[in-house]
Amino acid sequence: MILPQYDGHCGWYEALDNVSAFPELISNVRVDTVVIGGGFVGCAAVRRLAENRPDERFLLIEALKIGQGASGRNSGFVIDQPHKRDLESNDNDLKRKLVRLNRTAIDYLKTQIDQYGIDCQWSPAGKYQAAVGTRGEKFLSHYEELLKGFGETYERIPRERIKSVFGTDFYSSAIFTPGGALMQPAALMRGLADNMPDNVQIAENTAVTEITRTECGFLLKTGKSSIKCRKLILGTNIFTAELGFMRDHILPVMTFASMTKPLTDDQMKRYGGQLDWGITPADHAGTTVRMTQDRRTIIRNSYRYAHDYNTPQELLPGLGLRHRKAFDARYPQLKDVEFEYTWGGASGLSGNFETYFGQIEPGIYLSCCDQSVGAARGTVSGMMLADMACGKKSELLSDMVEVSGAPSRLPPKPLLRVGVPLRMAMARFASRSEV
């Protein structure tokens, strides 16, 4: 059984000060519902359970420390728009439901941030999608037509305005959509965990290794404890298959990022752009760029089929050099800016681009295959899984069921280990001018 591992390289997590601790579970317990996985799905699900049923006890189990896993390793976007594949659907009503669900997630997170004073660089800064050259411009124009098609607000940013925002004239054009947010993901996850309702218990560094169905529900085994519960909610991302569910349906893909040290005052003058923005590439295989509120730049590109689920450390130096090249191409005036961290973060895809949401077996609820938009999708999925488990019906839950599907069965793993890297290499070559 492959368990999550923390490599000590995630810049978002390593930049945190005074990280709190929740003890490993070492005693046997009984609760109503156990939530496995302390990411966006799990944290939203256990909070919503506690809100729905304040007189019951709930347990959130995380194999690492909250913020060390995939939810603390992304680029810090909470995106309100449908994912690229969903955006290309001809069903505008479906797209509007996706937007409503994503914005519900954003509002839910913002309410907690305001209520508990969570310091996570949260900002309603929206998102830019940018193109470098002719290939990227074609994708960007297609994106613009899709936004027009279902009436979404956006602004096309001409080349002459780009440098004043991004501090570089590397990009030829960009589109700004105002509805999303930016944040420091590891800080957000820690803040959510530190401010759970009183009827939520959290156990960190506690990996579930066995799930057995009983007459009254389930018996879970960890390294040092056993847990009895009536219901289970799984927010286990790509590790879901290790618990025996969705085997051969989740494609684990890892993307890699590097983070600079904070820019000095002199480097900021040479930079000349704004703080607090994020770019996703118009070309799917291009480079994501973030400039944070605390003067750090994040460069994210390069993909890997994560058949072993965790980050191979020997790959990081070469990936850091690839990020260095992308940074220098954008900011030749900042070649003295040092990278401080390089890390990988995984997401779960499906072969047919469908997400899964619902009751996968009696008493077991699951959301997976987030298609790399886990912050908003994971949050609202967790909320709605909790409502489903509590028998609480709503229009949002109906929408969640409608926009979800059945991930297709993947080819055998030996074929995936050859075919997926080959396809990624072809995409990287085709998109080389946009990276």
- Per-residue pLDDT tens listing for the chain (435 residues): 888 999 999 999 999 998 999 999 999 999 999 999 999 999 999 999 999 999 999 999 999 999 999 999 999 999 999 887 788 888 999 999 999 999 999 999 999 999 999 999 999 999 999 999 999 999 999 999 999 998 999 999 988 899 999 999 999 999 999 999 999 999 999 999 999 999 999 999 999 999 999 999 999 999 999 999 999 999 999 999 999 999 999 999 999 999 999 999 999 999 999 999 999 999 988 999 999 999 999 999 988 998 888 888 899 999 999 999 999 999 999 999 999 999 999 889 998 989 999 999 999 999 998 877 889 999 999 999 999 999 999 999 999 999 999 999 999 988 998 898 888 888 888 888 777
CA-closest candidate to residue 105, choices 402, 367, 405, 396: 396
Q: What is the pLDDT of residue 160?
A: 87
Q: What is the pLDDT of residue 178?
A: 97
Residue 150: inside a domain, yes or no?
no
Q: What is the pLDDT of residue 432?
A: 82
Residue 170: inside a domain, yes or no?
no
Residue 282: inside a domain, yes or no?
no
Residue 33: inside a domain, yes or no?
yes
Q: First-to-last CA distance in the chain?
A: 36
To 10 degrees, the CA torsion angle through 194, 196, 197, 198? -50
Q: What is the pLDDT of residue 417?
A: 87
Residue 361: inside a domain, yes or no?
yes
Residue 142: inside a domain, yes or no?
no
Q: At 50, which CATH number?
A: 3.50.50.60
Q: What is the pLDDT of residue 290?
A: 98
Tally of structural domains, the chain? 1
How far are the Cα atoms of 31, 95, 175, 311, 333 from residue 159, in angstroms, in the given order?
57, 29, 11, 37, 19
Which two structure tokens, joined as six digits, stand for 368?
A: 């997976």
Residue 166: inside a domain, yes or no?
no
- In which domain, by residue range, is 236 found? 7-121+182-263+293-435
CA-closest candidate to residue 234, choices 63, 82, 74: 63
Q: What is the pLDDT of residue 359?
A: 97
Residue 268: inside a domain, yes or no?
no
- Separation CA 188–CA 118 (nearest Å): 7
Spell out the residues 6+ positions from residue 181 whose beta carbon is closer than 8 angstroms to its own.
Answer: 77, 78, 106, 109, 110, 122, 123, 124, 125, 126
Q: What is the pLDDT of residue 141?
A: 94
- Whole-prediction pTM: 0.96
Q: Please return the burial class of 313, using the count of CB atoms within 10 Å of its CB with bins 0-12, 13-18 and 19+.
A: exposed
Q: Please, are residues 153 and 170 in contact by the beta-carbon 8 Å criterion?
A: no
